[in-house]
Structure 1
Amino acid sequence: MEFVQISEHVYKLTSETVVGIRVKINTWYVVEGEDVYIIDTGMEDYAGAQLNAAKSLGSPKSILLTHGHLDHINGAKYLRNHLNIPIYAHEIEIPFINGEKPYPNKIEEETTGVEYQVEGLSDKIIKRLPLDVYLTPGHTPGHVIYHHKDDNVLLTGDLFFSNAESLHPPIRKFTNNMDENINSGRVIDKIQPSIISSSHGEDVKYKHDLYTIYKFIYE
Structure 2
Amino acid sequence: MDKELSYGSDYKFIPTTSINSGLGLEVLPDLYSYTVQIVNFCLVGTPESKEFVLVDAGMPGSAEEILAVTEDRFGSGSRPKAIILTHGHFDHVGGIIELVNHWNVPVYAHELELPYLRGEKSYPEPDPTVEGGLVAKLSSYFPNEPINLSDRVQALPSDGQVPFMKEFRWVHTPGHSPGHVSFFRERDRALIVGDAFVTVKQENLYNVFTQEQEISGPPRYLTPDWDASYQSVKSLAALKPSVAVTGHGLPMEGDLLTNSLEKLVNEFHTIAVPAYGKYVDKNIH
Give the TM-score of the pair, scaled to structure 2: 0.67
SS at match of 1:196: strand
State the identity %: 29
Pair 1:147-2:184 in alignment: yes
Distance 1:69 1:76, change over 3 A: same
Deviation at 1:136, TM superposition (A): 0.4
Structure 2 stretches lacking a partner, 5+ long: 1-21, 127-141, 201-211, 270-285
Deviation at 1:195, TM superposition (A): 0.8
Q: Work out the CA distance in 2 between the residues paired with 1:149 and 1:54.
A: 26
Question: Greater CA radius of gyration, 1 or 2?
Answer: 2
Query: Which residue of the other structure, out of 101, 106, 118, is the alignment partner of 1:86?
Result: 106
SS at match of 2:120: coil
Q: Work out the CA distance in 1 between the residues paired with 2:79 and 2:116.
A: 29
Q: Work out the CA distance in 2 between the residues paired with 1:127 and 1:28.
A: 15
Query: Which residue of the other structure, out of 209, 213, 218, is the alignment partner of 2:263?
Result: 213
Pair 1:15-2:36 in alignment: yes
Pair 1:122-2:157 in alignment: yes
Q: Work out the CA distance in 1 between the residues paired with 2:92 and 2:104.
A: 19
Pair 1:77-2:125 in alignment: no
Q: Work out the CA distance in 1 between the residues paired with 2:39 and 2:117.
A: 19
Asked which structure has the greater RCO (Cα within 8 Å, sep 6+), the reply is 2
Deviation at 1:172, TM superposition (A): 2.2
Deviation at 1:116, TM superposition (A): 4.3
Aligned length: 212
Query: Which residue of the other structure, out of 19, 22, 41, is the alignment partner of 1:27?
Result: 41
| Structure with the higher fraction of residues in strand conformation | 1
The residue aligned with 2:27 is: 6
Deviation at 1:152, TM superposition (A): 2.9
The residue aligned with 1:66 is: 86
Q: Work out the CA distance in 2 between the residues paired with 1:180 and 1:38.
A: 26
Aligned alpha-carbon RMSD (Å): 2.3
Deviation at 1:175, TM superposition (A): 0.8
Pair 1:172-2:207 in alignment: no
Comparing 73-82 with 92-101, greater Cα deviation is found at 92-101
SS at match of 1:70: coil
Deviation readout 1:155-187 (Å, 9 max, x if unpaired) = 111111214764201222211201211221112
SS at match of 1:92: helix
Distance 1:72 1:148, change over 3 A: same
Distance 1:146 1:194, change over 3 A: same
SS at match of 1:94: helix
SS at match of 1:5: strand
The residue aligned with 1:50 is: 66
Distance 1:150 1:142, change over 3 A: same
Q: Work out the CA distance in 1 between the residues paired with 2:230 and 2:254.
A: 17
Contact 1:135 1:143 in 2 (8 A): yes
Give the TM-score of the pair, scaled to structure 1: 0.86
Deviation at 1:194, TM superposition (A): 1.2
